[in-house]
């Protein structure tokens, strides 16, 4: 099976992280799911338009734990990960899907922006992405 790398730049989280704990034979591991949206500009001149791309990412282990501690709805991130086929049979028909697993994550908000977002006091805080402050994995 091929390993295809996916990079999502200057994305913002569409909602809060959904955190679960998965019991495995070798112990409990943290799993988080998050939807990140990034915008890109297509075309030129009068035909120029923004296009949004939403990807639902799965994070595991310490990457999931750190994201749960520091990120919330609206947080700005860069995500690097992999995609694989997630096909299955349902009622005799094949359902085709893709699964995105994050391997690295850069937090783009400043510490003040992140703390304000987590506390729900986003007034006066810029939503412009900043230099990466932390990386996961």
Residue ranges and CATH numbers for the domains of the chain are 4-135 (2.40.50.140)
What 8-state DSSP symbol labels residue 3?
-
What span, in angstroms and rounded, lies between the C-alpha atoms of 14 and 53?
11
- The pTM (predicted TM-score) of the whole model is 0.74
What does each of the 137 residues of the chain score in pLDDT, given as a tens digit? 567 899 999 999 999 999 999 999 999 999 999 999 998 888 888 888 888 889 999 999 999 999 998 898 999 999 999 999 989 999 999 999 999 999 999 999 988 888 887 777 444 333 333 333 334 43
* Structural contact between residues 107 and 132, judged by C-beta atoms closer than 8 angstroms: yes
Q: Where are the alpha helices (DSSP H) in the chain?
A: 61-70, 111-119
Residue 32: both structure tokens together: 């988080």
């Amino acid at each position: 099976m091929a390993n295809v790398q996916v990079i999502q730049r200057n994305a913002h989280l569409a909602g809060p992280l959904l955190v679960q704990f998965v019991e495995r034979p070798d112990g409990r591991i943290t799993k988080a799911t998050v939807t990140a949206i990034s915008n890109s500009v297509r075309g030129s001149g009068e035909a120029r338009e923004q296009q949004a791309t939403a990807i639902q990412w799965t994070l595991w282990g310490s990457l999931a734990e750190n994201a749960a501690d520091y990120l919330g709805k609206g947080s700005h991130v860069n995500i690097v990960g992999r995609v694989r086929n997630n096909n299955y049979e349902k009622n005799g028909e094949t359902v085709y899907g893709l699964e995105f697993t994050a391997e690295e994550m850069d937090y783009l908000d400043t510490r003040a922006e992140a703390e304000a977002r987590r506390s729900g006091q986003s007034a006066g805080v810029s939503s412009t992405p900043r230099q990466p402050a932390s990386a996961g994995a």
